[in-house]
C-alpha cells in the first residue's frame, strides 16, 4: 500500500455525519469519505446510504463495520493498515465521532502507536441542543445516557448535583419521563429543555421547569431521538463566587460588559451584578 498515490495522508480521520438532515455535512467530510483508503462505520448501511445520497462511490473499497461488539478484533487490523501508510475514515451513525460512540478505543490505539488522528468536524447533537435550549452555554458538561435503573441513575445524579455547569444528557423516548423524574428528585425543579428530532422535519424544543417537562411527557409523550439540557444549580452560587467571577471579568472587560457576562453565567439580575461590579471597580 505504501507505493500507491493517495489524496489523504496516512492516519485516522474522524468524520462527523449529519444528525438528521443529510445535507448537514461539510465539504471536507465528503472529500475524506471519497479519498480515504479504508472506510469504517458503526452501521455500514447508514454510511453507505449517506455516500449514495452525495454521489460518493465505494470504488472497490471495503466498508468495515466497527462497533462495541467487534472493536477488539477489528482495531488491531486497522491500526496495522494505517501504520503501513493507509488513510482510514471512521464515521459514527450520526454526529461527531467520540461523542457517545465506540471511536475512543480506536483513536487511542492510533495515538499509542504514534499515528496521526484528525477530524473532519461537523454537527453534534449536544452542541445543537445547547444552542436551542435557552440555557447558559459558557460552561457545560455532557453526561451521555444516565443508567437505566433508578438506583444507579440516582447515584449518577448525586455526583452531578453540584457541578457548576449546564448539564446535557442523551435519552430515549421510552425512558424520558422516568429520567426527568429522577433528575427532578435529585437536582430540584431546575430550568431545562427537552430537544427532540434535531434538524429533522419534526424538530421540537420544549422549555420550562423540569416539573413542566414531566407534565408534558404525560400529556404528549415525546418521540424520536432526545437530548435533555438542564440548568446548573443556582443554590450553590455565593456572593464570594460572584465577586471572584466579576474580578476576573473586570480584568478584560468594562463594568457593563463584565456585569452582563457574569449575570448570564450565574443566572442573576444584571442590575445586581452591575452594582457589585461598580463596588469592586471603585475599591469598596
Range of the domain at 181: 126-230
Tens of pLDDT along 220-278? 999 999 999 999 987 655 677 778 788 878 888 899 998 888 887 666 788 888 999 99
Long-range contacts at 272-281 (CB < 8 A, ≥ 24 apart): 273/242, 273/246, 276/239, 276/242, 276/243, 276/246, 277/246, 277/249, 277/250, 280/243, 280/246, 280/247, 280/250, 281/250, 281/255
Q: Is residue 6 part of a domain?
A: no
Q: Among 123, 138, 164, identify where a domain stops.
A: 123
On whether both 118 and 130 belong to a single domain, the answer is no
Q: Which 8-state DSSP code applies to residue 233?
A: P
Beta bridge partners of 88: 12, 38
Mark the ranges of the chain whose per-residue pLDDT is less than 50. Answer: 1-5
Q: Is residue 29 part of a domain?
A: yes
Phi then psi dihedrals of residue 118, to 5 deg: -140, 180
Tell me the CATH number at 49: 3.40.1010.10
Specify the pLDDT at position 284.
52
- According to DSSP, the β-strands at 204-209 and 191-196 are antiparallel
Q: How many domains does the chain have?
A: 3
On whether both 248 and 192 belong to a single domain, the answer is no
Three-state DSSP state, 179: helix
On whether both 42 and 115 belong to a single domain, the answer is yes
Q: How far apart are the first and last CA of the chain?
A: 71
Q: Among 99, 123, 147, identify where a domain stops.
A: 123
Give this prediction's pTM.
0.78
Distances (CA, A) of 65 to 43, 117, 141, 232: 6, 19, 30, 38
On whether both 24 and 80 belong to a single domain, the answer is yes
Q: Which 8-state DSSP code applies to residue 17?
A: B
Q: Which residue, 80, 111, 91, is CA-closest to 49? A: 91
Three-state DSSP state, 100: coil
On whether both 171 and 213 belong to a single domain, the answer is yes
On whether both 216 and 146 belong to a single domain, the answer is yes
Specify the pLDDT at position 100.
66
On whether both 108 and 137 belong to a single domain, the answer is no
Q: Is residue 1 part of a domain?
A: no
Q: Among 212, 230, 248, identify where a domain stops.
A: 230
Q: Is residue 206 part of a domain?
A: yes
Looking at every residue in the chain, the average pLDDT score rounds to 91
Specify the pLDDT at position 242.
78
Amino acid at each position: 500500500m505504501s507505493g500507491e498515490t493517495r489524496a489523504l495522508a496516512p492516519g485516522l480521520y474522524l468524520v462527523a455525519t449529519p444528525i438528521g438532515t443529510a445535507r448537514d455535512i461539510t465539504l471536507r467530510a465528503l472529500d475524506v469519505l471519497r479519498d480515504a483508503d479504508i472506510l469504517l462505520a458503526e452501521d455500514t448501511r447508514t454510511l453507505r446510504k449517506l455516500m449514495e445520497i452525495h454521489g460518493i462511490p465505494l470504488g472497490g473499497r471495503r466498508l468495515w463495520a466497527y462497533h462495541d461488539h467487534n472493536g477488539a478484533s477489528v482495531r488491531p487490523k486497522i491500526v496495522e493498515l494505517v501504520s503501513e501508510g493507509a488513510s482510514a475514515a471512521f464515521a459514527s451513525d450520526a454526529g461527531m465521532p467520540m461523542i457517545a460512540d465506540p471511536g475512543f478505543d480506536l483513536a487511542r490505539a492510533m495515538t499509542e502507536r504514534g499515528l496521526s488522528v484528525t477530524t473532519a468536524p461537523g454537527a453534534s447533537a449536544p452542541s445543537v441542543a445547547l444552542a436551542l435550549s435557552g440555557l447558559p452555554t459558557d460552561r457545560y458538561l455532557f453526561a451521555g445516557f444516565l443508567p437505566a435503573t433508578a438506583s444507579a441513575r440516582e447515584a449518577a445524579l448525586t455526583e452531578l448535583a453540584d457541578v457548576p455547569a449546564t448539564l446535557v444528557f442523551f435519552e430515549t423516548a421510552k425512558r424520558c419521563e422516568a429520567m426527568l423524574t429522577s433528575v427532578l428528585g435529585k437536582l430540584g425543579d431546575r430550568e431545562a429543555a427537552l430537544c427532540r428530532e434535531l434538524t429533522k422535519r419534526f424538530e421540537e424544543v420544549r422549555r420550562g421547569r423540569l416539573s413542566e417537562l414531566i407534565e408534558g411527557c404525560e400529556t404528549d409523550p415525546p418521540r424520536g431521538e432526545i437530548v435533555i439540557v438542564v440548568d446548573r444549580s443556582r443554590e450553590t452560587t455565593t456572593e464570594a463566587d460572584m465577586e471572584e467571577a466579576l474580578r476576573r471579568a473586570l480584568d478584560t472587560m468594562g463594568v457593563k460588559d463584565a456585569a452582563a457576562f457574569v449575570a448570564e453565567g450565574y443566572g442573576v439580575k444584571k442590575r445586581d451584578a452591575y452594582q457589585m461590579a461598580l463596588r469592586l471597580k471603585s475599591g469598596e
